[in-house]
Amino acid sequence: MSMNKQLPMKKRSGMGAFKHLLGMILRYYPGYFFLVILAILVVSFSSVANSYFVGNILIDQFITPALNQFAANNPVGTIGSAYDIMTTEITIFDFHFFEVIGVMIVIFALGVIGSYVYNFFMAYISQGVQKKIRDELFAHMQDLPVSYFDNHTTGDIMSIYTNDVDALREMLARSIPMIFSSIVSMIACFVIMMMTDLYLMGVVVAFGILMFFLTKFFASHSGKHFVQQQIQLGRTNGYVEEMVSGQKVVKVFNYERRNVAAFTKVNDRLYEEAVKANRYANTLMPTVNQLGNVQYAVIALLGGIFVVNSITGYGFSDLATGTWGHTYTIGIIVSFLLYSKSFVQPIGQMAQQLNTITMALAGASRIFGMIDEPQEVDEGYVELVNAKEDENGNPVEVLENTGRWAWKHPHADGTTTYTWLKGKINVNGVDFGYVRDKIVLHDITVYAEPGQKVAFVGPTGAGKTTITNLLNRFYDIADGKIRYDDININKIKKADLRRSLGMVFQDTKLFTGTVLENIRYGKLDATDEEVYAAAKLANADTFINQLPDGYHTVLKNGGASLSQGQRQLLAIARAAIANPPVLILDEATSSIDSRTEAMVTKGMDQIMEGRTVFVIAHRLSTIKNSDVIMVLDHGRIIERGSHDGLLAEKGKYYQLYTGNAIENK
């Protein structure tokens, strides 16, 4: 039984997620991160330095004097072709000119190298952080309680591993370095513009402020929709995953058209949020770029006026010199145009990356929200250990596998006692609800002595499977006690508790791998011979040997190539090889035909010999030989006794059994 309502993923704030990411980078890649920062500084220095060299040095110190000298030596009307100018006046550029060119080439080269270095190492950092996040996610997921998976769809969880993690990688690999590089370039350009001319810098800053507020406006409107887009993407993936896994049911009930209609509705929600997000995001970049072009034209116009005025002094004598007393020259204006472009261009780049960052932070909040989910609490301290008998028949802990187990129970006074694992289960006055205000089990009391077979029967939803889930501590009870060999199961470590319980579920889960590996899942250190023996015990050996590669046949997609009955036989073999003292069979033979059931039951009788067994069955013929049968209805045990005794009472069990017998006919 599980809750159908899907709860939202926990979310960490975008800033909190970003701090976590930065912490991971500094923890795992401090050296690479330092090289990236250094490389970005070099790239920014290269960009600003070359702008300075082009205008202030090349144009003002070489090209303009050369042109002036050429004009003085060649009066109007005597100037020849461009080839004549180049061949006759090249001597104007002395050796110092080529030194400057060499320095510029070196600076350009440093910029290219810096760009390569930071992209190279960011690839390591982004892929490395992505890997570690996936590792952390998967490791944490293993320790989440079963209730978490009841409340979240598989597709939504998978969307975190794929879409959200990939958005995070994109942000780390491209957006963050570009943002940092843009900020450094803007700071460098701002400083050098302020040192060059305050008038022109004021124009650039004014346009920069306008762009900032436009960016903020568009980003605030697109950001919330990008968050919703990620959420809707997870829900869409969840729906697709559910429909893919249920295609047989869809086709049997001719649900294709309704399925398409339902998917269209889900996909429309994703479409709507994506349109809203990208409507603002796609408008931002062109707007910022066009403002940059306008600013470029304004500075060129003002710069031209200032240069003309500084040459002629006509009409604007107060603008003949700049704010720092310099004379406006073509070189200064050219450099300033380059500075302004280097100042405004990063704003456009940052605006372009805001979409990626917004999506990545939305994904990061879901990623770290899953990581922040509380793990399954385990306060147990009683362990299950290998043991052998001493001279008095008491258990003694040993390292080797003896095939016998004992509970290692440390006490507050420092002593430790060992008791044999027998398989005695006592459930006393247990109440339980999947949610606090809705109790589904009421005052459940069950006593199972070692070697006894206890059966649970009742209508669907009566609480049969829920009881067995409580034995495994998939969920914790609200009231009452469950004792295992007279030890409160809350004191037993969950891993040790579950290792002592073998389960065959109603829904068989097989994993991608060989048949041999799937059976060995019950005992990882089992030999091939033990696997073969378990398969024979479960009567699975015959059909396994008929597979293309026998026990080495690779199963995919949950063993879809096998029948439901064959998958169930493999699950029974998996339980058999675990050789646990307590077996829980949840409709273990529900998918097997009557002939196969008879063979499996014979094998199961051997497995169950000397073990405590809990059986849940709708096919009541399989539980007639149970020591005690519990009849449940609406979460309460309403009848208990042997098969014959319950039939004699002619109560609920009698109704179930006689109705079941008629159905089986």
pLDDT exceeds 70 at position 66: no
Domain identity same for 214 and 99? yes
Q: Give the 3-state secondary structure percentages of the chain, helix then strand then coil, rounded to 5.
A: 65, 15, 25
* Lowest pLDDT segment from 312-321, 486-495, 575-584, 627-636: 312-321
377 part of a folded domain: no
The mean per-residue pLDDT over the stretch 50-79 comes to 66
The mean per-residue pLDDT over the stretch 353-361 comes to 76
Higher per-residue confidence, 187 vs 514? 514
Task: Say how far apart CA 66 and CA 91 lie, in whole Å.
Answer: 10
Domain identity same for 364 and 389? no
Neighbours of 428 (CB within 10 A): 13
Domain identity same for 399 and 446? no
Amino acid found at 553: T
Domain identity same for 390 and 336? no
We report the CATH number of the domain holding residue 553 as 3.40.50.300
**Which residue, of 372, 402, 434, is where some domain finishes?**
372
6 part of a folded domain: no
Taking a C-beta distance cutoff of 8 angstroms, is the pair 235, 156 a contact?
Answer: yes
Q: Cα-atom radius of gyration of the chain, to the nearest Å?
A: 38
The DSSP annotation for 161-201 comes to: IIIIHHHHHHIIIIIHHHHHHHHHHHHHHHHHHHHH-HHHH
Give the range of the structural domain holding residue 539, as residue numbers without chain letter. Answer: 425-664
pLDDT exceeds 70 at position 117: yes
Task: Say how far apart CA 429 and CA 621 lie, in whole Å.
Answer: 29
Domain identity same for 193 and 175? yes
Percent of the chain predicted with pLDDT > 90 = 15
> How crowded is the C-beta side of 551, counted as CA atoms within 13 Å?
17
Q: What is the pLDDT of residue 71?
A: 62
Taking a C-beta distance cutoff of 8 angstroms, is the pair 363, 79 a contact?
Answer: no
- Greatest mean pLDDT among 26-40, 198-212, 239-253 lies in 26-40
Domain identity same for 436 and 571? yes
Domain identity same for 460 and 345? no
Percent of the chain predicted with pLDDT > 70 = 84
8 part of a folded domain: no
3 part of a folded domain: no
2 part of a folded domain: no
Q: What is the pLDDT of residue 338?
A: 82
Taking a C-beta distance cutoff of 8 angstroms, is the pair 149, 7 a contact?
Answer: no
Q: How sure is the predictor about 481, in pLDDT bands with cuts at 50, 70 and 90?
A: very high
The SS3 of residue 418 is: strand
Higher per-residue confidence, 237 vs 475? 475
Domain identity same for 410 and 546? no
Task: Say how far apart CA 156 and CA 319 lie, in whole Å.
Answer: 64
The mean per-residue pLDDT over the stretch 9-23 comes to 69
Q: What is the mean pLDDT of the chain?
A: 80
Among candidates 483, 599, 586, which has minimal Cα distance to 535? 599
We report the CATH number of the domain holding residue 263 as 1.20.1560.10
> Which pair of structure tokens corresponds to residue 8?
């939202």
Task: Say how far apart CA 346 and CA 273 lie, in whole Å.
Answer: 28
Task: Say how far apart CA 340 and CA 480 lie, in whole Å.
Answer: 75
Higher per-residue confidence, 281 vs 311? 281
The SS3 of residue 277 is: helix
pLDDT exceeds 60 at position 125: yes
Q: How many residues does the chain have?
A: 665
* Lowest pLDDT segment from 124-138, 247-261, 554-568: 247-261
CB within 8 Å of 631: residues ≥ 6 apart: 457, 458, 637, 638, 639, 640, 646, 651, 652, 653, 656
pLDDT exceeds 90 at position 303: no
CB within 8 Å of 301: residues ≥ 6 apart: none
The mean per-residue pLDDT over the stretch 619-630 comes to 84
Chain segment 542-596, per-residue pLDDT in tens? 889 999 999 999 988 778 788 877 888 888 888 888 888 888 888 766 666 666 6
Taking a C-beta distance cutoff of 8 angstroms, is the pair 586, 506 a contact?
Answer: yes
Q: How sure is the predictor about 311, in pLDDT bands with cuts at 50, 70 and 90?
A: low
Q: What is the pLDDT of residue 539?
A: 80
Alpha helices in 421-563 (DSSP H): 464-471, 494-499, 515-520, 528-537, 541-545
Taking a C-beta distance cutoff of 8 angstroms, is the pair 457, 656 a contact?
Answer: yes
Looking at residue 375, what DSSP letter applies?
Answer: P
The mean per-residue pLDDT over the stretch 420-435 comes to 90
9 part of a folded domain: no
Q: What is the pLDDT of residue 2?
A: 37
In the chain, the N- to C-terminal Cα span, in Å, equals 30
Q: How sure is the predictor about 491, in pLDDT bands with cuts at 50, 70 and 90?
A: very high
Task: Say how far apart CA 371 and CA 304 lie, in whole Å.
Answer: 59
pLDDT exceeds 50 at position 662: no
Neighbours of 661 (CB within 10 A): 11
Domain identity same for 390 and 431? no
User: How many domains, the chain?
Assistant: 3
Among candidates 35, 356, 105, which has minimal Cα distance to 219? 356
Alpha-carbon distance values, 616 to 30, 247, 509, 510 (Å): 56, 28, 18, 21
Q: Structure pTM?
A: 0.69
Chain segment 391-401, per-residue pLDDT in tens? 888 999 998 88
Alpha helices in 584-651 (DSSP H): 594-608, 643-649
CA dihedral 629, 634, 635, 638 (to 10 degrees): -40
**Which residue, of 372, 404, 436, is where some domain finishes?**
372
The mean per-residue pLDDT over the stretch 204-220 comes to 80
Taking a C-beta distance cutoff of 8 angstroms, is the pair 43, 135 a contact?
Answer: no
Alpha-carbon distance values, 337 to 115, 299, 302, 340, 616 (Å): 23, 7, 11, 5, 81
5 part of a folded domain: no
pLDDT exceeds 50 at position 315: no
Q: What is the pLDDT of residue 321?
A: 58
Amino acid found at 168: L
Q: What is the pLDDT of residue 50?
A: 76
100 part of a folded domain: yes
CA dihedral 333, 336, 341, 343 (to 10 degrees): -160
> How crowded is the C-beta side of 165, counted as CA atoms within 13 Å?
21
Chain segment 168-211, per-residue pLDDT in tens? 888 888 888 888 888 888 888 888 888 877 878 888 888 888 88
Domain identity same for 228 and 312? yes
The mean per-residue pLDDT over the stretch 502-517 comes to 84
The DSSP bridge partners found for residue 636 are 633
Task: Say how far apart CA 486 and CA 482 lie, in whole Å.
Answer: 9
- Greatest mean pLDDT among 121-130, 225-234, 421-430 lies in 421-430
The mean per-residue pLDDT over the stretch 206-234 comes to 77
Taking a C-beta distance cutoff of 8 angstroms, is the pair 373, 10 a contact?
Answer: yes
Domain identity same for 84 and 210? yes
Q: What is the pLDDT of residue 75?
A: 61
The mean per-residue pLDDT over the stretch 621-628 comes to 84
153 CB burial (10 A radius; 0-12, 13-18, 19+) = middle
> Which pair of structure tokens corresponds to residue 576?
């058999």
Domain identity same for 160 and 291? yes
pLDDT exceeds 50 at position 267: yes
Q: What is the pLDDT of residue 488?
A: 94
The SS3 of residue 589 is: coil
The SS3 of residue 289 is: helix
